[in-house]
Structure 1
């Protein structure tokens, strides 16, 4: 796969290369240390930021969100984002590998209960915390920072416990934890479908092929997608291809033909027709618009 956007590892951001599973910092300090991270990039790890001050915007997979105090956002590995802050911006940042938390849990799929840790939809990862819940969340982040600063015995375990408290409180705020429990089978099926798409979207384009891999009928897959996601199964597959096309188009060194070939389209014209049908503009127009916004 041609990579158009740089991928950042935790070890490249930490002063101590041994801290390859987690990085915790006050956000203003993080921004000062990594001034070059305003450009579009992706991470190989989970990434979360709680804003306590600041303005401007940030973008996750080409969807723009306004920065507000009391907002927290999550990104799963592979998503692309950039920042355009206005004025002094502060809060907390935690970068962590999936294994950091999972090593503490007996249930391997526990983190999938939280949409902000399992969904690739940018909107699921951005939460504006109600004012009456914010003090409790901020206190948890302060305790996490204190554990890192003081390096107490079993500090790593305490950080994991505090992070789980953050996740559970945010899950309650979102109000999705109960509905997920009631519809466990459907949500598990959708998660598996999305994981398969992530692995095969270049080579496998048809819902019937995914249904076969999931040991269900195409009609069943389509019905569950419409029930849980509000989209047909084919649209879910096309959206993932479209997202990768957008990511590749941010690299001006790649021709439209090269991108079409990378995404397994038969020819350039078919790719252009596919893209314009979804976005309303051609790939060339999208590229010009995106690069102008970046500059």
Structure 2
């Protein structure tokens, strides 16, 4: 999503952001989001399925190279400089033109244009000083984040992921602190806490059901975990978002 005009707030996974022109937001399936926009707003939104590129790209893992598609809020909100905003806006306009033609071949053109947006943003991020850590370290951390996404329901310790990555827990922690600014254990806990928040706003589920789905066999332990790392109890969180 690209804002070209407007103001207000936008909340993704319970993180509130101030909307301003030239901001791009990337979201992935499962994220919780809400709007509180004021005034005259304009921009572009594109929704596509996770399988949209499968028949087009040789590697189904291709999109995982883009950090802004990892579902981590801090890395998925990008403010574009003016020259880049103009370039990206032109690509959005081209996508709209192709979509209106409603021809099978044009779906491939839309895929090409979407990839152009991703590659252009990725190139922009790579030019920023804070993004210049590259090579095997970044690959390891991305693999760690992907593994956490797959296994956080049942694997809660850094050593579990270090084993899957064929490195030591100390090495994983050092890499996590160096690149993500936090230890590996915190990355895992934050993912569990986020999923708990996502499920707690589904009022069809009881708190005990949420705890069980996340691998907490003891409801009281889930409450202690949530309050320790979330600052409030699950009941208070649910009431706050009712």
The structure showing larger relative contact order (alpha-carbon pairs under 8 Å, at least 6 residues apart) is 1
* Unmatched tracts of structure 1, length 5 or more: 1-48
In 2, distance between residues paired with 1:156 and 1:230? Answer: 40
Assess, with a 3 A threshold, how the Cα gap between structure 1 residues 254 and 112 changes in structure 2: closer, same or farther.
closer
- Structure 2-normalised TM-score? 0.88
Aligned CA RMSD, in angstroms, stands at: 2.4
Of 73, 77, 91, which residue of structure 1 is paired with 2:43? 91
- The Cα of 1:246 is off from its aligned counterpart by 0.7
Contact 2:125 2:131 (8 Å CA) reproduced: no
Partner of 1:147: 98
Q: How many residues align?
A: 242
In 2, distance between residues paired with 1:153 and 1:206? Answer: 47
Assess, with a 3 A threshold, how the Cα gap between structure 1 residues 157 and 251 changes in structure 2: closer, same or farther.
closer
Partner of 1:37: none
Partner of 1:61: 13
Of 138, 162, 176, which residue of structure 2 is paired with 1:187? 138
Local SS of the residue matching 2:216? coil
Contact 1:52 1:70 (8 Å CA) reproduced: yes
In 1, distance between residues paired with 2:86 and 2:9? Answer: 23
Assess, with a 3 A threshold, how the Cα gap between structure 1 residues 280 and 157 changes in structure 2: closer, same or farther.
same
Assess, with a 3 A threshold, how the Cα gap between structure 1 residues 254 and 153 changes in structure 2: closer, same or farther.
closer
Contact 2:31 2:198 (8 Å CA) reproduced: no
- Structure 1-normalised TM-score? 0.74
* Unmatched tracts of structure 2, length 5 or more: none
| More strand as a share of residues | 1
- The Cα of 1:236 is off from its aligned counterpart by 1.0
Assess, with a 3 A threshold, how the Cα gap between structure 1 residues 171 and 216 changes in structure 2: closer, same or farther.
same
